[in-house]
Amino acid sequence: MLRFFALRLGRALLTIALVVTFAFIVLRLSGDPALMIMSPDAPPEALAAFRQAWGLDEPIWLQYLKYFTAILQGELGQSMRDGRPAIQLVLERIPATLMLTLPALALKVGLGIPAGIYAALHRNSLTDRVVMTFAVAGFTVPSFVLGLILVLIFAVQLGWLPSGGQESWRSAILPVISMGLGGAGILARFTRSAMLEVLGQPYIRTASAKGVPWHAVIRKHALPNAAIPTVTVVGFMVGSLMAGAVVVESVFSWPGVGRLMVVAVSNRDLAVVQCILLLVSATMVTSNLIVDLLYGVLDPRLRGHAAPGSGH
């Protein structure tokens, strides 16, 4: 188990390093930060001074090396735009983002999983078809389109809810719904197919054949098995808690990490972008790690402490 954990951890760290490297390469290739921040009309001396101040005049490999060692030391650099530590800028925005993504996650799980289970248990019924139609609509309509529709109906037409900003909890309702519904649809479909797969397994028939009442067959025999594939999807959703709101935050002008990201990218504010990417990949990787560990808990076949056929 220890070996397993160490292996996973090593892979996780490698993933983060790759993401960070990738971000560095893409951002440096796509334009000169000095021109973006100072504007192209700035006098050459000013540009040179800016480049020197931020180390942009050094060879690219040296920049990368410095950047990487700084990250290892926990030094994430300063925003080129306003000179404050990048980490501070990002941390300030996290609560606002979580205010959207956490309720959205709750909506996905709380709506998607029960709907999927219900649809599977009433396969081909009218309810099943209605649920699945909504599910397909939920994940084929992009969240920003849904967001705009919701704004049109509830903010513009009915005037019940604000269309943007972060004045009160009421401002969060529309963005949360526009993010949560799609995920709920994905999760409902996934849960439904996992359940159907499990319900077709011989051990479900065995449970019925030994006199387990149907509701207990579902609860004790089907759900623990159907949970195994479903955990993967939920894990992915947990992993996108930080990054999942980029588009929706822009639609609803919500001052979260996502909007900071959009602004920082368009400004070539390298330190901030890198800091966000680090945060996002760390969340992603951590949730993957948790999913892997959960697999071990949920599925004894993956614990691997004994080989099959180890009969006497």
Report the nearest approach of another protein to the CB of residue 6 (Å): 10
Closest CB to another protein among residues 129, 301: 301
Report the nearest approach of another protein to the CB of residue 123 (Å): 9
Q: Are 272 and 264 in contact (CB under 8 A)?
A: yes
Closest CB to another protein among residues 208, 283: 208
Calculate the alpha carbon distances from 173 to 104, 178, 212, 239 in Å. Answer: 9, 9, 43, 22
> Cα–Cα distance between 151 and 179 in angstroms, integer?
13
Closest CB to another protein among residues 2, 29: 2
Report the nearest approach of another protein to the CB of residue 209 (Å): 4
Tokens encoding 147: 């967001």
The count of other CB atoms within 10 Å of the CB of residue 20 is 19
Closest CB to another protein among residues 221, 268: 221
Report the nearest approach of another protein to the CB of residue 222 (Å): 9
Dihedral sign from CA coordinates of 35, 37, 43, 48: negative
Closest CB to another protein among residues 170, 220: 220
Closest CB to another protein among residues 84, 205: 205
Tokens encoding 224: 């623990």
Report the nearest approach of another protein to the CB of residue 284 (Å): 24
The letter for the amino acid at 278 is L
Closest CB to another protein among residues 10, 55: 10
Report the nearest approach of another protein to the CB of residue 198 (Å): 10
Closest CB to another protein among residues 105, 120: 120
> Cα–Cα distance between 301 and 311 in angstroms, integer?
16
Report the nearest approach of another protein to the CB of residue 126 (Å): 15
Burial of 184 (0-12, 13-18, 19+ CB in 10 A): buried
Calculate the alpha carbon distances from 185 to 113, 117, 180, 242, 264 in Å. Answer: 9, 12, 9, 20, 32
The count of other CB atoms within 10 Å of the CB of residue 181 is 24
Q: Are 205 and 154 in contact (CB under 8 A)?
A: no
Report the nearest approach of another protein to the CB of residue 287 (Å): 22
Binding site for another protein (CB under 8 A): 3-4, 201-203, 205-214, 220-221, 224-225, 228, 298-302, 304-312
> Cα–Cα distance between 283 and 180 in angstroms, integer?
19
- Tell me if residue 212 falls in helix, strand or coil: coil
